[in-house]
Amino acid sequence: MPKSWRFPVAAVAVIASLVAAITPAHAATFESSDKWGTWNNGGYVVRNNVWGGGAGPQSIWANSYSQWGVWANHPNTGGVKSYPHAGKNINKRLSSVGTLRSSFNVSRPNAGAYTAAYDIWADNHRYEVMIWMNKQGAVGPIGGRQTTVSVGGHTWDVHKGTNGSNEVFSFVRTSNTNAGSVDIKAVMNWIRNRGWFGDVVIGEVQFGFEITSSSGGLNFTSNSFSIDSW
């Protein structure tokens, strides 16, 4: 090879480190750096979902809807940049749901600003229910705090507000956890019993990482995730 085509050794090392940072340690069934990258698997959908302004690069990989992860390098600025997640469409009225539970297990960084959370849509996106299992850095829910309640297997600070497009109810766990299960039906019934909505049609139940910043590149992993519904 002519000398003019050779890369300096230092440049090669930098390129190799960048490739390693955004590539999973094992071969993945699905990989995408497209901000809307989507994969259907086992009745679920996995989405990269980089939707916020000022976002940096983000890559998603998945071996299944249960085991997946992202590498994200979003700048240290305000505003949500992305919500990579796995989700399942329920499409049933709350009153006709027998069981709606979910379990999860995640590995997450000790830097950046984000939350690992469920996002549940109802009545064709009229209502949004967020269930925060953990949070890191400068993040906060929409709306004002209403109360603290124990429901669905956990204790939460409950917030209520609007994002301009839909009403948002946020359940923020009073202490962080990286694994567990949630009785989502019980949470939805608690909201209904407060009179905040009626017998809504539950749409998609999603779980993932709502990322505000991850400067320098951070890894987020769903080790396991599932939804039990009938």
Per domain, the residue ranges of the chain are: 3-229
Residue 138 exposed, middle or buried by CB count within 10 Å (0-12, 13-18, 19+): exposed
pLDDT at 106 over 70: yes
Q: What is the mean pLDDT of residues 208-220?
A: 98
Distance of CA 144 to the CA centre of its chain: 22
Closest CA to 224 of 178, 192, 158: 178
pLDDT of residue 4: 38
Q: Are 47 and 36 in contact (CB under 8 A)?
A: yes
Q: What is the mean pLDDT of residues 103-111?
A: 98
Q: What is the mean pLDDT of residues 100-104?
A: 98
pLDDT of residue 15: 38
pLDDT of residue 19: 42
CA distances from 164 to 142, 168, 220 (A): 11, 10, 29
- Give the bridge partners for 128, in sequence order: 121, 168
pLDDT at 14 over 70: no
Contacts of 140 (CB under 8 A, 6+ apart): none
Q: What is the mean pLDDT of residues 212-218?
A: 98
Q: Write out pLDDT tens, residues 58-96.
A: 999 999 999 999 999 999 999 999 999 999 999 999 999
pLDDT-derived band at 6 (thresholds 50, 70, 90) equals very low
How do beta strands 127-136 and 113-122 pair?
antiparallel
pLDDT of residue 27: 65
Task: Report whether CATH 1.10.1370.30 matches the domain 3-229.
Answer: no
Q: What is the percentage of the chain residues whose pLDDT exceeds 90?
A: 88
116's enclosing H/E stretch is strand 113-122
Taking CA 83 as the corner, what is the angle to CA 88 and CA 55, rounded to the nearest 5 degrees? 150
Q: Are 123 and 204 in contact (CB under 8 A)?
A: no
Q: What is the percentage of the chain residues whose pLDDT exceeds 70?
A: 88
pLDDT at 16 over 90: no
What is the value of pTM for the model shown?
0.88
Closest CA to 127 of 194, 210, 229, 203: 203
Mean pLDDT of the chain: 91
Q: Write out pLDDT tens, residues 144-171.
A: 999 999 999 999 999 999 999 999 999 9
pLDDT at 227 over 50: yes
Identify the residue with better confidence: 11 or 206. 206
